[in-house]
Structure 1
Amino acid sequence: MEKQYDLIVIGTGSAGAGVAIACSKEDWKVAIIDSRAYGGTCALRGCDPKKVLVGAAEIIDWNERMRGKGVQDQPTINWADLMAFKETFVEDIPPAHEQKLKDAGVETFHGFASFINEDTVQVGDDQLKGKHILIATGAKPAPLSIEGEQYLGNSDDFLSLEQLPSTIVFVGGGYISMEFAHIAVRAGAEVHIIHHGEQPLSHFDPDLVDELMKRSREVGIQFHLNTEIQAIKQTAEHQYSVQAVQKSNEQEKSVQIECGLVIHGAGRVPNIDKLGLDQANIDSEKQGITVNEYLQSTSNPRVYAAGDVAATKGLPLTPIAGMESQAVRANLLQHNVQIPNYKVMPSIVFTIPKLASVGMTVEEAQKLGDHIKINDMDTSSWYTYKRTNEKHARIKVIIDTQARRVLGAHILSGEADDLINHFATAIQFDLDIDEWKKTIYGYPTAMSDLSYFLEE
């Protein structure tokens, strides 16, 4: 049965649902489709539930740092109780999310969507024909093409573990591996990270990553760098042998780790392979669906794409998906009037301590000339961090001394997630350093250190 719509949205996460509701409120006939529970990755199986687990790990770390300094008893994590608490943040989202869409007049569908021509999508027995179509299907773990790949778990699996295995191997050195490793090790697991490069978190400041790795090793995380995973073999029920090769100085060394879980943290790719893009004349590339500056398909103008599935300048982050969603709704309703603004994209790794970045890197800034100043400060002895015995805290602030502007900031500390947002604001609105310094911040707080960060 064919049904006609003004707009069909594929995906109910940060990039899709808002567009569906906004267009429906303008009396468009709108349909939305998802093959999974309504709500998207961030709310159900990503950022939000992850940070609930991070909170418990931070309590463990805080107590450990303060032992002998007024704190005596060290708590432990009850994994089952923690997961039950995490579930309270997730369980109500799918029905509430779907009801919100229905209340806005959006017709909801469950199932896999695939194009059968340039304007028609098949979902189960239904054929949906749309004047416009938004693809917002996000990303999924990248295929690794290794023996035993079927034994790889992913972030969804980690966030739904009923019991924490005694030993866990994370494949890859990105956000997922590093964040989950810091949770798991503080919950009592033996943790290994296998990474093909010389350093994890390649998009962050290498000096700060080095410092984070020092702390990671102190708490028990074991790194296997310059190491390529070769195979995963099941040795018993819920028991695996991970086989890898470590390359160093043109020599190779075999690595074998026995564990109860192997988690894929080696990157994600656009979730487009089952959409039948060829049937709809939708061009794509490695980064995702090929779009113009208005997030419109370059080959099929009926189609737009937003979030991790679109090939744009944006980082694969929830706020970027949300920003692109706002642009798409404007471009649909007013015909291509808004170009997404990627000027500021703060990025945070919720390890313990946290690592955050916004704006230019040091390497980029140093190419601009002598008027660029890099304030590189070890802040571990500052009051803000000394009071909780945080021995790994550092900040780099990139200043244009002529334009009187901050160009970038890179922070490692327990306060990094909040601090980076202040720098994001300064960069977004080109705040004059001298004017910014006049702001009075509450004391003693992490932000009350600002004037020292901006010293020349």
Structure 2
Amino acid sequence: MYKYDVFVLGSGMAGMNIANICASKGLKVGITDELPYGGTCALRGCDPKKIMLGATEAKDFAARLHEKQIAEVPAIHWKAAMKLKQEFVDAMPPKIEKGYKHNGIETFHQSAKFISENQLQVGDKTIEAKKIVIATGARPRVLGISGVEYTLTSTDFLNFDTLPKSLVFIGGGYIAFEFAHMAARFGSEVTILHRGKQPLESFDPFIVEQLTGATQKLNIKVVLNTNVTAVEKFGDSFTVTGKDENGEQKWEAEAVINSAGRPPAIFDLDLKKANIAFSKRGVEVNEYLQSTTNSNIYAAGDAADTDGIPLTPVAVMEGHIVASNIINGNIKKPDYTAIPTVVFTLPTMASVGLSEEKATEKGIEFIVNKKAVPDWFTAKRINENTYAYKTLIEKETGKILGAHIIGPHAEEVINLFALAIKARLTSKDIKTMILTYPSASADIVYMV
């Protein structure tokens, strides 16, 4: 029997912060992860993806200014980009484990299952802990279709030795769009199949419309209102079958990527044996991120059923809160106000705050400012044809309620709107600011 004050399941950003903070306060801490230490963001998501996007950003910039200011569009090489990405990824797990051991945290590398309210089976070892934290993240949704075994995941995509010449993405979320843009610029023929009438359903329809147009200009096929029913293998290629209002359709590709969402990775943990309530959204927690049915348990990140968006910064925040509540008692609660989210396509799409639908549900009277502005200097100087915004402003107070942007540096500009919402700034406050010019940030004055 191995006994701990705190034992953490999952070594992503939430689990890592919880383990290190608790250990720094003198608690005896253990952690396990059946995958290499680091979690999705560092090893299979945000960071490696951004490294791979570097080459496509250079190509995109040169293509827009081709024959205007730049003589040639550079060739970009998948294998070279992959090598750079892998150097980063390979260095992370040993670095993280070294940090754990330096902090006195005992490390395990096996999957875990609950055997009682405060005990776990981790490999062939029995673990008992006063507090157990579930921070196991998310994993690709299992598709209920024939031939599901032929589909690959975003992790597989980021490990292709050679990029397939053609790809079909099942699902029209941010993973599909980000990787489709990347693959198309590296030379692949790409199709996105989405069952709904609008891809990227959690984003503003007006802004998504702009992105869909830009995506189609990259010769990426975006097929909507289509339910995928089967994947078949024929030699070295695959055929994807889907149904729309006109009947059955088929698409052929060298690889098929499952990008149909990522549910929490909690369903193999035998949670019922520990009296842990859960839903398809994650472990049910109270306002302190503590299990509603077992006070020994906390959950954070994608594994927890909260109002937070499944993003790395949210997992980090929740990790700090869980650690504080374990150490000091339940005193801290998460604040999910004004959390920005980004789709790293080119152009980039970003959002923060309320949508029109949410603002209406809350009974708020608001003003909408929206416009496509490719003629603004920020876009004009780099020959970017996709630039648009929508902002929501409370009618009575003038406070910024929400902002939705697509265009140059949207991933940075959205942070200013996040600050504005968090600080409860009004449109007048923003309009009277003096900002650097010419800069993309300065455009916010005209968006409100």
TM-score in terms of structure 1 length: 0.96
- 2:202 aligned residue: 203
Per-residue CA deviations over 1:112-169 (Å, capped at 9, x if unaligned) read 1111111111111211100000000001111111111011100100001100111000
CA contact (8 A) 1:224 1:246 kept: no
Q: Counterpart of 1:78?
A: 77
The residue that corresponds to 1:56 in the other structure is 55
Amino acid aligned to 2:151: L
- The answer for the alignment partner of 1:233 in structure 2 is 232
Out of 383, 392, 407, the position equivalent to 1:413 is 407
1:439 is aligned to 433
Superimposed CA distance per residue, residues 371-400 of structure 1 (whole angstroms, 9 cap, x where no aligned partner): 522111222101111001111100111112
In structure 1, the partner of 2:244 is 246
1:207-250 Cα offsets, whole Å, 9 max, x none, are 1111111111111100121111111111124x211111122xxx
2:163 matched to 1:153? no
Q: Secondary structure of the equivalent of 2:352? A: strand
Structure 1 residue 319, shift from structure 2 partner: 0.8
Q: 2:418 maps to what in 1?
A: 424
Aligned to 2:139, what secondary structure does the other structure show?
A: strand
Aligned equivalent of 1:393: 387
CA distance change for structure 1 residues 31 and 366 in 2, over 3 Å: closer, same or farther? closer
| Cα separation, 2, equivalents of 1:291 and 1:106 | 26
> What secondary structure, in the 3-state scheme, does the structure 1 residue paired with 2:180 have?
helix
Out of 111-120 and 426-435, give the one that drifted further: 426-435
Aligned residue for 1:91, secondary structure, equals helix
Measure the CA separation in 2 of the matches of 1:13 and 1:293: 22
Q: What does residue 212 of structure 2 align with?
A: 213
Letter in 1 for 2:155: D
Check the 8 A contact 1:62/1:388 in 2, yes or no: yes
In the alignment, the residues of structure 2 paired with residue 370 and residue 136 of structure 1 have an alpha-carbon distance, to the nearest angstrom, of 35
Distance 1:110 1:366 in 2: 48
- Distance in 1 between the 2:408 and 2:377 partners? 13
Q: CA deviation at 1:332?
A: 0.5
User: Is the 1:60–1:75 contact (alpha carbons within 8 Å) kept by the matching residues of 2?
Assistant: yes
**Residue in 1 that maps onto 2:168:** 169
3-state SS of paired residue (2:326): helix
Partners in 2 of 1:55 and 1:373 — Cα distance?
37
Q: Is the aligned partner of 1:314 residue 2:313?
A: no
State the 4+ residue runs in structure 1 displaced beyond 4 angstroms: 366-371
State the partner residue of 1:139: 138
Paired letter, 2:71: Q
Q: What is the DSSP-based 3-state SS (H/G/I as helix, E as strand, rest coil) of the residue aligned with 1:141?
A: coil
User: Residue 138 of structure 1 contacts residue 308 of structure 1 at CA under 8 Å; is this kept in 2?
Assistant: yes
Query: Which residue in 2 is equivalent to 1:184?
Result: 183
Do structure 1's residue 376 and structure 2's residue 375 form an aligned pair? no
Amino acid at match of 1:395: Y
Amino acid at match of 1:176: I
Conserved in 1, the CA contact under 8 Å of 2:148 and 2:230?
yes
Corresponding residue for 2:278? 284
Q: Are the structure 2 counterparts of residues 365 and 299 from structure 1 closer, same or farther at C-alpha, using a change threshold of 3 Å?
A: closer
RMSD, matched Cα: 1.4
Q: Which moved more, 1:197-206 or 1:436-445?
A: 436-445
Q: For 1:425 and 1:333, how far apart are their aligned partners in 2?
A: 30
Shift of 1:413: 0.5
For residues 145 and 379 of structure 1, the distance between their equivalents in structure 2, rounded to whole angstroms, comes to: 42
Identity over the aligned pairs, expressed in percent? 43
Partner of 2:397: 403
Amino acid at match of 1:272: I
Deviations 1:264-320 (A, max 9, x none): 111111101211111111111110111111111111110000000111111111111
Q: Structure 2: any 5+ residue segments left out of the alignment?
A: none
Aligned residues: 448
SS at match of 2:63: helix
Partner Cα separation in structure 1 for residue 363 and residue 325 of structure 2:
39
Q: For residues 14-65 of structure 1, give each alpha carbon's deviation from its aligned partner in whole angstroms, at most 9, with x where no partner exists.
A: 1111111111111110000000000110010001111112222122211111
Task: Return the offset for 1:176.
Answer: 0.5
Q: How far is the alpha carbon of 1:68 from its aligned partner?
A: 2.3
Q: Secondary structure at the match of 1:223?
A: strand
Aligned to 1:215, the other structure's residue is in SS state helix
Answering whether residue 24 of structure 2 is matched by residue 25 of structure 1, we say yes
Deviates more, 1:367-376 or 1:7-16: 367-376
1:72 shift after superposition: 1.9
- Residue pair 2:364, 2:394 contacting (<8 A) in 1 also: no
- CA separation of 1:291 and 1:212: change in aligned 2, threshold 3 A: same
Q: What SS does the aligned partner of 1:315 have? A: coil
Q: 2 CA distance for matches of 1:10 and 1:200?
A: 33
| AA in 1 matched with 2:243 | V
Quote the offset at 1:263 in angstroms: 0.5
2:256 aligned partner:
262
Q: Is the 8 A contact 2:431 2:446 kept in 1?
A: no
- 392-401 or 40-49: which moved more? 392-401
8 Å contact kept, 1:179–1:350: yes
Contact 2:408 2:440 in 1 (8 A): no
TM-score normalised according to structure 2 size: 0.97
Query: Offset of 1:438 from its aligned partner?
Result: 3.5
Residues 212 and 353, structure 1, Cα contact 8 Å, conserved in 2: yes
